[in-house]
Amino acid sequence: QSALTQPRSVSGSPGQSVTISCTGTSSDVGAYNYVSWYQQHPGKAPKLMLYDVTKRPSGVPDRFSGSKSGNTASLTISGLQAEDEADYYCCSYAGSYTLIFGGGTKVTVL
Amino acid sequence: QVQLQESGPGLVKPSQTLSLTCTVSGGSISSTSYYWSWIRQPAGKGLEWIGRIYISGSTNYNPSLKSRVTISVDASKKQFSLNLSSVTAADTAVYYCAREGLTTGNFDYWGQGTLVTVSS
């Protein structure tokens, strides 16, 4: 299992939209609709932002949305805010009851 | 509000076994609706799933760690535990415990994390 591929960093100005990609294979991202996304601020535990590709847990703003096409899942943050500056990780079911994470993307709010 | 708290030694010698415990409060570890998982993160690096346990005792492990990992649960103490044997410096990381919904990969509650350093 190799980590899912994410861009090292993305950036945007307040109010803009940014999209983070998460590329896997036909054995993980492409095979199952079990992709989740986590936000992690420095020194803190990750926070669940999306699961099952598009579902938002209670309390997560609807500015966060997810999608998937083929072997690539995406997280879009619309109306970027200063507090969205953090690291983001994708996670996918990889079959045989195993999980794989992405390498992480640093989102910078300019 | 569900809370998870990791505990265990912060320093482990190479070749020894890393042992951590996660105590669950505010929710039932015996619930049939969740798995209980361990995830780690080396400094400055990404997250790595280690494995999970269900209240029945059924476990699943990361294939890359499977030969060295054991996860167990003690419902009476509201705890689940991680043992990682034959550790090296590469196992130095912050270790998190988390609750995972049956929709796999859905970690909705996390512990604060505990740093374990492997060094002589």
Mean pLDDT value across residues B56-66: 95
Flag whether residue A93 sits within 8 Å of chain B, measured between CB atoms.
yes
Predicted pLDDT at A92: 97
Q: Which amino acid, residue A37? A: W
With an 8 Å Cβ cutoff, are A51 and B101 in contact?
A: yes
With b meaning 16 or more CB within 10 Å and e meaning fewer, what string describes B39-72?
Answer: bbbeeeebbbbbbbbbbeeebbbbeebeebbbbe
Predicted pLDDT at B48: 97
**pLDDT tens for each residue of A32-88:** 999 999 999 999 999 999 999 999 999 999 999 999 999 999 999 999 999 999 999
User: Mutate which of A48, A54, A88 to test chain B, going by most B C-beta atoms within 10 A?
Assistant: A48
Residue B49 or residue B104, greater confidence: B49
> What confidence tier does B104 reach under pLDDT thresholds 50, 70, 90?
confident
Residue B107 has pLDDT above 80, yes or no: yes
Handedness of CA B56, A97, A47, A1 (dihedral sign): positive
Helices vs. strands in chain B: H and E counts, helices first: 0, 11
Minimal C-alpha gap between A27 and chain B (Å): 15
Residue B4 has pLDDT above 90, yes or no: yes
The strand pairing partners of A100, in sequence order, are A92
| Distance, CA of B116 to CA of A52 (rounded, Å) | 31
Nearest CA in chain A to B37: A99
Count other Cβ atoms within 10 Å, centred on residue A50.
24
* Contact (Cβ atoms closer than 8 angstroms) between residue A65 and residue A78: yes
> What confidence tier does A103 reach under pLDDT thresholds 50, 70, 90?
very high
User: Mutate which of B60, B62, B64, B104 to test chain A, going by most A C-beta atoms within 10 A?
Assistant: B104
> What confidence tier does A2 reach under pLDDT thresholds 50, 70, 90?
confident
Residues of chain A with Cβ-Cβ distance to B46 below 8 Å are 3, 89, 101-104
Nearest to A36 among B48, B106, B112 (CB): B106
Predicted pLDDT at B105: 85
**pLDDT tens for each residue of B69-89:** 999 999 999 999 999 999 999
Quote the DSSP letter at residue A3.
P
Residue A26 has pLDDT above 80, yes or no: yes
**Who contacts B118 (Cβ-Cβ below 8 Å, separation ≥6)?**
B11, B12, B13, B14, B18, B87, B88, B89, B90, B91, B92
With an 8 Å Cβ cutoff, are B104 and A99 in contact?
A: yes
Residue B102 has pLDDT above 90, yes or no: no
Minimal C-alpha gap between B24 and chain A (Å): 16
**Do β-strands A72-77 and A86-93 pair in parallel, antiparallel, or remain unpaired?**
unpaired
User: Mutate which of B47, B48, B95 to test chain A, going by most A C-beta atoms within 10 A?
Assistant: B47
